[in-house]
Chain A
Amino acid sequence: MTDARIIGGAGRESSGLITMLPAAIESMFRLSWRALRESWGLILALAILVLIFSQASPYFLNTLVLERILTNASFTLIMATGMTLVIATGGIDVSIGATLALSSMVAATLMNLGTPVLPAAMAGLLLGAGIGAFNGSIISYLKLQPFIATLAMLSLARGMTLIISGGSPAFDLPEAFTSAFKDEMVMVIGLGGLLLTMLVMHRTRLGIQIRGIGGNENTCYICGVRVNALRIGVYAFQGIMAVLAGYTLTASFDAAEPTAGLSTEWLEAMAAPIIGGNTMAGGRARLFGTLMGCLILATMRSGLNISGVPTAWQQVAIGGIIVGAVTLDVLTNRKKVS
């Protein structure tokens, strides 16, 4: 994919995007067809999971469970969408959990201090974008390993969260904020973010360039792609998605928790793209695969919960699935090469 279309460099994306819009529906149709061809194995895996769990527990086939799975998957999807792009550039961001906690805490604290909802929420989003941009900058200009750069950010943001909050949650948040990020809004944000990102990634030059960075950074640079700027943008986007996920979590708890994001949510945000067939080497952005990864993880969690399997075993199962997905990926790639 990273062919001659990259040549010509950046700078005309905005006009390109607008002319894209009328053709969006047709694009979506073609995209879905391609996604189905790429990810039929994942769809099959999901179907098998549903079948197993419906046999294992009489309570599994239930509208309440379906609603829970969709909501939980959407929550992971918000972060995983951003992560897919980061992975496509050949990077990783382990600081999402901490970014999520810090920005939510800042927004909630501002609201409790009397700041109106909109400016407070914007401040959180800006902070998230700033954290992401900072990550991207030190990776680009200081040539730090993405893992190390974001690990440092994890510690930094988590510490700041504890300092700001004094260790206790910020509660009593305005109704206008919680209702904007609650219940079905989680699905709206998750799916909306995914669809927009899919359009950009698969139908614009920008998307090709982002994947190009992961494919071959030097070639991209020689072809005139503004590699560093794009990478910073991708990390900033990931930061914004982490903040949005944090807001939905804050809304559902009706409080900003200093320990939010410490749980396995950040791990699942990285696991979902990998299960979905995105390689850590970069150069590939299978967003539909990421969606399936989120659904598989959420189905598995709910299914195991309902079947009464202890949560420790669920972590073992998730680890197993990641190893399985990566192995499959490696094997299929090897076949293609040989």
Chain B
Amino acid sequence: MLSKLTKTVSLMAVAATFGIAAPVAAGEDRMALYERFGEIPVPSKEYRIGVILKTFNNDYFIDLKNGFQDAADKYGVKVEFFAAPGETDLLIQKQLMEDMLVRQFDLIAVNPSSTSNLLEPAARATKMGIPLINVNDAYISKEDQEKHNIDIISFISTDWAEQMRHHVRYCAEKLGDEGGQIAHIMGFPGSTAATQRLEGYETELAKFPQLESVAVLPADWDRKKAMDVAADMIQANPDIKCLSASNDNMALGAIQALKNAGKLGDMIVMGCDGIPDAVTAIQNDELTASVAFMQYENGYNTIEAAILHLEGMGDKIPETLFANQEIWDKSNIDDKIANYGRYYSGMAKLTN
């Protein structure tokens, strides 16, 4: 009895870690998946919510923005977007947020470009009584919140480490008991996503003794560099069975290296993010899988959390909330292309 119970619980836990996203039939309203908080009250007034993002100039942020906008339209709140020209424009983003503060928003959602560049305006916002939600990385750490007197309601983001755990598990599943050699191409050393993804890869690997990690090398998120790195990896370890790349760009670079070596199709190559090029590569049987995550959902959840907080129901909001993740591979990619246009602007481009 007891063992049966623990089994069920552990099964549920496994299901939870593998991504809550259940397969959804075509045409079904996927929004049901995003309602993490249950019933959201009707806002008592037309709240104005300010959103400051790193930049607008890639699909990733457009998806996030769409999530914000859709939820805002649904609940009848106003949302205004601000963003620096590029992800490295730390100072411009700081000045932008400082200027946002005079516009009397009811709540501000921040997606800082670095862990530190928005500390000063965030502290000022708290002083002015404007509630803050931290969306996506960079994350304003607990220590910094305390040191600078910043109140952040919730951290609504993506579990980077979990993505690479997906990679390792996928690899273990495909290779079976026999196992084999695996290697990881990491992103720009020092960036949050690269560091946490590497950590996820390493911790999960410890659970699968049949997998042997033979190399971990950085390729700085870059396709060309990843091509060189992957070429070196397969040169030095001809028996490699599985390549885990920290993003899709680098996975595509690795595929180019495999093509050049005439080894494409001999091994599992996994990317991350679900960019359009990667989707095409999965369709063409070049890329094995990509771990995609719902950027859209982070925006959507943030608006819901904002309404809950402003309506005095802040106790329903967890301190951290991670978006769903899914593995896309040959088995499900056609379904994703058909149904995900709204959530991945890159996907919409593919179907058009």
- Residues of A whose CB lies within 8 Å of any CB of B are 59, 62, 64-65, 68, 72, 165-169, 171, 249, 252-255, 257-260, 262-265, 301-302, 305-306, 308, 310-312, 315
Q: A59-B103, A253-B116, A257-B114 are in contact. Are A68 and B90 (CB under 8 A)?
A: no
Inter-subunit contact B95/A65 (CB<8 Å): no
The complex places the Cα of A23 from the Cα of B144 at a distance, in Å, of 49
Does B202 sit at the interface, judged by CB under 8 A? no
Min CB distance B262 to A, Å, is: 35
Write 23 A-B pairs (CB below 8 A) sorted by A numbering.
A59-B102, A59-B103, A167-B188, A168-B190, A252-B94, A253-B90, A253-B117, A254-B144, A254-B148, A255-B116, A257-B90, A259-B88, A263-B88, A263-B90, A263-B91, A305-B82, A305-B95, A305-B100, A306-B103, A308-B80, A310-B83, A311-B83, A311-B96
Min CB distance A260 to B, Å, is: 6
Q: Across the interface, which residues of A come within 8 angstroms of B90, CB to CB?
A: 253, 257, 259-260, 262-263
Inter-subunit contact A167/B82 (CB<8 Å): no
Inter-subunit contact A64/B190 (CB<8 Å): no
Q: A59-B102, A308-B80 are in contact. Are A254 and B88 (CB under 8 A)?
A: no
The complex places the Cα of A264 from the Cα of B91 at a distance, in Å, of 8
Q: Across the interface, which residues of B come within 8 angstroms of A257, CB to CB?
A: 90, 114, 116-117
The complex places the Cα of A252 from the Cα of B124 at a distance, in Å, of 12
- For A169, the closest partner residue in chain B by CB is B116
The complex places the Cα of A64 from the Cα of B120 at a distance, in Å, of 14
Inter-subunit contact B190/A165 (CB<8 Å): yes
Q: Across the interface, which residues of A come within 8 angstroms of B102, CB to CB?
A: 59, 62, 64-65, 306
Q: Across the interface, which residues of A come within 8 angstroms of B237, CB to CB?
A: none
Interface residues of B in 91-146 (CB under 8 A from A): 91-92, 94-96, 98-104, 114-117, 119-120, 144
Min CB distance A190 to B, Å, is: 15
Min CB distance A311 to B, Å, is: 5
Min CB distance B190 to A, Å, is: 2
Min CB distance B49 to A, Å, is: 14
Min CB distance A230 to B, Å, is: 32
* 5 A-B pairs with least C-beta separation: A167-B190, A305-B99, A255-B116, A168-B190, A263-B89
Q: Across the interface, which residues of A come within 8 angstroms of B98, CB to CB?
A: 68
Interface of B, secondary structure class, is mixed
Min CB distance A303 to B, Å, is: 9
Q: Across the interface, which residues of B come within 8 angstroms of A64, CB to CB?
A: 101-102
Q: Across the interface, which residues of A come within 8 angstroms of B56, CB to CB?
A: 310, 312
- Residues of B whose CB lies within 8 Å of any CB of A are 56-57, 80, 82-86, 88-92, 94-96, 98-104, 114-117, 119-120, 144, 147-148, 188-191, 195
Of A62, A68, A167, A301, which contacts B189 at CB under 8 A? A167
Of B89, B103, B114, B147, which contacts A253 at CB under 8 A? B114
Inter-subunit contact B88/A252 (CB<8 Å): no
- For A250, the closest partner residue in chain B by CB is B116
- For A313, the closest partner residue in chain B by CB is B85
Q: Across the interface, which residues of B come within 8 angstroms of A259, CB to CB?
A: 88, 90, 114
The complex places the Cα of A169 from the Cα of B89 at a distance, in Å, of 15
The complex places the Cα of A302 from the Cα of B90 at a distance, in Å, of 15
Inter-subunit contact A169/B115 (CB<8 Å): yes
- 12 A-B pairs besides A308-B82, A311-B82 with CB distance below 8 A are A166-B189, A166-B190, A169-B114, A169-B115, A171-B116, A249-B91, A252-B120, A253-B114, A254-B148, A263-B86, A264-B91, A310-B56
Inter-subunit contact B99/A302 (CB<8 Å): yes
Min CB distance B288 to A, Å, is: 29
- For A302, the closest partner residue in chain B by CB is B99
Q: Across the interface, which residues of B come within 8 angstroms of A306, CB to CB?
A: 99, 102-103
The complex places the Cα of A59 from the Cα of B99 at a distance, in Å, of 9
Inter-subunit contact B99/A65 (CB<8 Å): yes
Inter-subunit contact A255/B190 (CB<8 Å): no
The complex places the Cα of A49 from the Cα of B230 at a distance, in Å, of 54
Min CB distance B219 to A, Å, is: 14
Inter-subunit contact A311/B92 (CB<8 Å): yes
The complex places the Cα of A255 from the Cα of B104 at a distance, in Å, of 28
- For B100, the closest partner residue in chain A by CB is A305
Of the candidates B82, B85, B148, the one having the most CB atoms from chain A within 10 angstroms of its own CB is B85
- For A306, the closest partner residue in chain B by CB is B99
Of B99, B115, B190, B191, which contacts A68 at CB under 8 A? B99
The complex places the Cα of A166 from the Cα of B218 at a distance, in Å, of 12
Inter-subunit contact B85/A262 (CB<8 Å): no
Of the candidates A72, A253, A260, A302, the one having the most CB atoms from chain B within 10 angstroms of its own CB is A253
Q: Across the interface, which residues of A come within 8 angstroms of B120, CB to CB?
A: 252-254
Q: Across the interface, which residues of B come within 8 angstroms of A264, CB to CB?
A: 85, 89, 91-92
The complex places the Cα of A19 from the Cα of B116 at a distance, in Å, of 46
The complex places the Cα of A262 from the Cα of B94 at a distance, in Å, of 14
The complex places the Cα of A312 from the Cα of B92 at a distance, in Å, of 11
Inter-subunit contact A311/B85 (CB<8 Å): yes
Of A62, A252, A311, which contacts B84 at CB under 8 A? A311
- For A315, the closest partner residue in chain B by CB is B85
- For B104, the closest partner residue in chain A by CB is A59
The complex places the Cα of A285 from the Cα of B89 at a distance, in Å, of 30
The complex places the Cα of A100 from the Cα of B228 at a distance, in Å, of 32
Q: A167-B191, A310-B56 are in contact. Are A254 and B119 (CB under 8 A)?
A: yes
Min CB distance A100 to B, Å, is: 11
Inter-subunit contact A262/B116 (CB<8 Å): no
The complex places the Cα of A59 from the Cα of B85 at a distance, in Å, of 23
